[in-house]
Amino acid sequence: MATIDLDAVAKSFGPVHVLEPVDLKIRSGEFVVLVGPSGCGKSTLLRMIAGLEEASSGDIRIAGERVNDVPPKDRNIAMVFQSYALYPHMTVAQNMSYSLKLRKTAKERIAEAVKGAAETLGLSKLTERRPRALSGGQRQRVAMGRAIVRRPRAFLFDEPLSNLDARLREQMRAEIKKLHARLGATSIYVTHDQIEAMTLADRIVALDAGKIQQIGTPLDLYGRPANRFVAGFIGSPA
Ligand code: ADP
Ligand code: MG
């Protein structure tokens, strides 16, 4: 697993400044939760780290290496979205193995990786199903399985549970926590949900108006919010 370092990373779309220079150092194995209102630049920040969007300025380093000019496929970072983006015509096993096939990974290694991920995610009995025959929670697990099999250096989660109902969200939250304990994966997790942030985060990054308002442990933000925005986010019930 890898460190992720952002050094004055900023983003503009044309004349519009979406993100002021962001400095952030994420430790190997750390679980960082990114919170902030809609439109504040959370997805843009993840997309820059993944290489799907170019930084306007600043340096992005993964495991110490500057990756600004490294294409997404060579960054070895996995993204998990809220829309599952599964291939409808493929089975669960095929969905999970697709990226490995593209990389011409050996068949045995693919089978082993898919089996391991399916076991980890409680999907072992569903590997021959197609997405339409799965529940929302199961689909989200397949999306995570697709990320896991690649053994990425880090995971970026963009509001992965926001399409699920409250009960399922709670269950998946617990599973993500277990998964993190097991894989020790460096993770950045975007959410609107205070409880997700408080229960999953080693540290929370609170973003508003294109700027980091506070970085700290859940207890730091809860006990010593830097400003009204942070207090409002942590203080109000879900
Ligand atoms: P969040 O994920 O926090 O809701 P986003 O990162 O998606 O926010 O978007 C931040 C801002 O950047 C928004 O105002 C959005 O409209 C703008 N934006 C995002 N992508 C583009 C793009 N490709 N072109 C122009 N503006 C964009
Ligand atoms: Mg977003």
Pocket test for ligand 1, best of 12, 18, 83, 207 (most atoms within 8 A of CB): 18
67-75: Cβ within 8 A, 24+ apart:
75/50, 75/51, 75/153
Give the position of tokens 């599973």: 175
Residue nearest atom 21 in ligand 1 by C-alpha distance: 13
Instruction: Per residue of the chain (238 residues), give pLDDT as tens.
Output: 899 999 999 999 999 999 999 999 999 999 999 999 999 999 999 999 999 999 999 999 999 999 999 999 899 999 888 777 899 999 999 999 998 998 889 999 999 999 999 998 889 999 999 999 998 889 988 998 998 898 899 999 999 888 888 888 888 888 888 889 888 899 999 998 899 999 999 999 999 999 999 999 999 999 999 999 999 988 654 4
Q: Residue 180 and residue 210: Cα distance in Å, rounded?
A: 28
Give me the interface pTM, i.e. the ipTM.
0.98
Whether residue 41 has its Cβ less than 6 Å from ligand 1: yes
Whether residue 37 has its Cβ less than 6 Å from ligand 1: no
Residue nearest atom 14 in ligand 1 by C-alpha distance: 39
CA of 41 relative to ligand 1 center, distance in Å: 6
Which tens digit of pLDDT belongs to each residue from 56-108? 999 999 999 999 999 998 999 998 887 778 999 999 999 999 989 988 899 99
Whether residue 44 has its Cβ less than 6 Å from ligand 1: yes
CA of 201 relative to ligand 2 center, distance in Å: 18
Residue pair 177/142 in contact by the 8 Å Cβ criterion? no
Q: What is the pTM of this model?
A: 0.91
pLDDT at site 236: 53
